[in-house]
Structure 1
Amino acid sequence: MSYDMIALTMFSTMMLMLMTGQRVFGAIGFVATAAGLMLWGVGGEDIPFTAAMKLMKWYPLLTLPMFIFMGYVMSESRIADDLYRMFHVWMGPVRGGLAIGTIALMVLISAMNGLSVAGMAIGATIALPELLRRGYDKIMVTGVIQAGSSLGILVPPSVVLVLYAMIARQPVGQLWLAGVFPGLMMAGLFALYIYLRCLVQPGLGPAMDREEREAITMAEKLRLLRAGILPIVIFLVMMVPFVKGWTSLVESSAVGASASFLAAVIKGRMTREVFETSVRQTLGISCMFMWIILAAMAFGAIFDGLGAVKSIENLFTEKLGLSPWMILILMQLSFIVMGTFLDDTAMLVIVAPLYVPLVGELGFDLIWYGVLYTITTQIAYMTPPFGYNLFLMRAMAPPEISMRDIYRSIIPFVLVMVLALAIVMIFPQIALWLPEYIYGK
């Protein structure tokens, strides 16, 4: 059997195992180890074992539990409630203002947590009931919550970008900085769409009534503003020393985790229950990511040993005659298809051994491609019939919001995401300017 057929057999076997409901790390790790043993005999297990040792020696891996812990402390201690109240008071007088404030809330939640599911949980439990109570259109606000929560995997400190950095062997700091402007641009496009839509159809997002606005004193507004600034201060305390080069990535993650813990203690919200829940959730998610990364690196080592990447590049460029840009677009479309039945981490570890080296061979920047991958994953999260965010929304939404409403709600926001993806593809400097400016110095 040729190496090309072996690579195809590995990939198809892995996909078949995933479609039958096997654990992601189990399917990937089993195929990698079995292929190594069958190809190279008893010594074949050394290849995935060596990849595992590389992972265990990768010091920046310590950032994962730190950032996850920081996010859970901030959400479990209800600091997000203060944020939403702040946006409610300051942006309520504008048509659609509370929905725009929800997008801003999601950006800040993303900067605290780096996981999409945290934004979804907070938005569905805090923002959605309030938006519905104030007469906002249920279809529009359902889309707002889903779109806003997707920013968690693009805005730093994105855990997904940390995983991409590990697998693609790219600097985490540069990837985070590369995600800043695209993430803010996408949030701005969401807010612009909401504002223009409510301008044309005022009934979709009514402004706060005059009596309620007058009942809120300026002292109350300033108090809420101070409460809302706290997460921003924590983010700056963590990120500024890292960007300036005063701390390493791991040290900055420890600073962020310590700052969030201290903030919860000062506000009197660090109870035993909050601490225990945060630690348990952190341990569970960190172990899940560790197993998946471990399996992905083992699979990638076998794939590299077969020379599969070079074979696929020759197939696309020489036999099919596709240009690098056509290949890149096909790769992005495949992410959207896979996103109908896989989450972002699974998509990354399945195709990273194939796509990441191929992108480099085609002459594209791997930092830029990390941003493209993340945006495409966001789109895949919200694409029917089995988008990951669609079912999370169904699980958390009140009974009056049907699955049909959820499907309808994401159409305009998916179109906005596609526009954002096209803009970043056409103008790569949107993603690359900030890391080049910071690290160029």
Structure 2
Amino acid sequence: MSQEFIAIFMFALMMLMLFTGQRVFGAIGAVATIAALALWGTGGQDITFSAAMKLMKWYPLLTLPMFIFMGYVLSESRLADDLYRMFHVWMGPVNGGLAIGTIGLMVLVSAMNGLSVAGMAIGATIALPELLRRGYDKTMVTGVIQAGSSLGILVPPSVVLVLYAMIARQPVGQLWLAGILPGLLMAGLFIVYIWLRCRIQPQLGPAMEDAHEVPWSEKIRLLGAGALPLIIFAAMMVPFVNGWTSLVESSAIGALTALVVSVIKRRMTWKIFEDCTKQTLAISCMFMWIILAALGFGAVFDGLGAVKAIENLFTEQLGLSPWMILILMQLSFIVMGTFLDDTAMLVIVAPLYVPLVGALGFDLIWYGVLYTITTQIAYMTPPFGYNLFLMRAMAPPEIGLRDIYRSIVPFVGVMVLALIIIMVFPDIALWLPGYVYGN
């Protein structure tokens, strides 16, 4: 049996198990274990055992619960309410200003959280009702919430980029820095689109008449709320970038800073702390099982030599250029994103794609940014995009699934434009980590 056939069979079996509703880590881990035993006999069990030991020895894995806890503390303590109020009074007098402010809110929430689900929850519960009450077009603002929440997995401290770093064996700090300028670029493109659209069609985002009535003392006070996530971000990143702390120590500083801020602002209660701790434990355990399954699956692929065989298939037998192969990879993410989340996609394709990208001569830091942007697009792509159904669950009854589908079309176009720009100009992602680390 050829290596190509075994690789295809493993992927087909794994996808079949996922379609039957099995847990992601269970489907991937089961296929890896069955393949190891079938290929190497009873000695194949050492592969998964070795993967488990490797996971337990990964010191950077301690960053995951820290960042997840930080995100939940800031989300559950409702610190984002002040942020939205700030954008409300500063951006309201402009046509589409509240929608533009919502994008700004999402960027700041992403800098505090690192999870797109939290951004979606904050946008749907805080921003969406206010936008609808102010007469904004329901289709446009639904797209704004979905597009803005997707920034959470690109702007540091992105939990998805931490997972990519662990699986691809790349420095987390460089990946975070690589995500900053692309994240700001995408947010800027969203803002330009909203401003142009509302300038051409003012009825989609009417200006607020009462925003100028807010006294300057209140406006200045609210600016402090806007600086809050930047302070937390700086307290975590500055010591790490300057080499004063390790990544794990910086993640602990970020979690502790978020907790202290929530206590100072009197937003932390024992019930909130207990909920944050329980949710952090649940999400962290899920990620650990998924990473364990990915390591086992990757080890089987390495032992099988499937990556080299598939590279030979693409480059020698099919005669595809490296850029054609890269584009096909990105298209496959969009297809998988219709029924899988970003973590599952990464775990499934990392054993194949990451070594192949390196063999084709592409930078793995740059590719991590491309992967993240493409999964953002896949999140919002009909018919089964992950964000579409999250939005449907959180939106008020007057917003139907048809409105949600229509709302994301222009924003997906903007994200594709951002992806193309970063593919053509890779220095947008690579300049900042190169400058900081002197690469």
- Among 204, 222, 225, the alignment partner of 1:224 is 222
Residue 21 of structure 2 aligns to a residue whose secondary structure is: coil
**Pair 1:263 & 2:280 matched:** no
Letter in 1 for 2:201: Q
TM-score, normalised by the number of residues in structure 1: 0.99
Q: For each residue in 1:52-89, what CA deviation from the matched residue of structure 2 results, as whole angstroms up to 9, or x when unmatched?
A: 21111010100000000001100111100010001101
Residue 257 of structure 1 aligns to a residue whose secondary structure is: helix
Q: What is aligned with 2:431?
A: 433
Count of residue pairs the alignment pairs up: 439
Q: What is aligned with 2:310?
A: 312
Q: How does 1:5-404 map to 2 (within 5 A)?
A: 5-209=5-209, 212-404=210-402
Report the identity percentage: 81
Instruction: Give distance in 2, aligned partners of 1:152 and 1:72.
Output: 13
Instruction: Give distance in 2, aligned partners of 1:59 and 1:46.
Output: 22
Residue ranges of structure 1 left out of the alignment (5+ in a row): none
Instruction: Give distance in 2, aligned partners of 1:430 and 1:363.
Output: 18
Return 12-21 or 382-391, whichever deviates more: 12-21
Q: Note the C-alpha offset of 1:141.
A: 0.2
Letter in 2 for 1:197: R
Cα contact 2:113–2:152 (8 A) shared by 1: yes
Letter in 2 for 1:208: M
Q: For each residue in 1:368-421, what CA deviation from the matched residue of structure 2 results, as whole angstroms up to 9, or x when unmatched?
A: 000000000000000000000000000000000010000000000000000000
Return 278-287 or 220-229, whichever deviates more: 220-229
TM-score, normalised by the number of residues in structure 2: 0.99
Instruction: Give distance in 2, aligned partners of 1:304 and 1:4.
Output: 13
Instruction: Give distance in 2, aligned partners of 1:281 and 1:98.
Output: 31
Letter in 2 for 1:220: E
Instruction: Give distance in 2, aligned partners of 1:173 and 1:429.
Output: 17
Cα contact 2:90–2:211 (8 A) shared by 1: no
Instruction: Give distance in 1, aligned partners of 2:271 and 2:434.
Output: 43
Q: Note the C-alpha offset of 1:426.
A: 0.2
How big is the alpha-carbon RMSD for the aligned residues of Structure 1 and Structure 2? Answer: 0.8
Instruction: Give distance in 1, aligned partners of 2:211 and 2:335.
Output: 46
Instruction: Give distance in 1, aligned partners of 2:179 and 2:118.
Output: 18
Q: Note the C-alpha offset of 1:423.
A: 0.2
Letter in 2 for 1:59: Y
Q: Note the C-alpha offset of 1:37.
A: 1.0
Q: Note the C-alpha offset of 1:49.
A: 1.3
Instruction: Give distance in 2, aligned partners of 1:435 and 1:409.
Output: 35
Letter in 1 for 2:123: G
Q: Note the C-alpha offset of 1:213.
A: 2.8
Q: What is aligned with 1:423?
A: 421
Letter in 2 for 1:383: T
Residue 81 of structure 2 aligns to a residue whose secondary structure is: helix
Give every structure 1 segment of 4 or more consecutive aligned residues whose post-TM-superposition deviation is greater than 6 Å.
none
Letter in 2 for 1:244: N
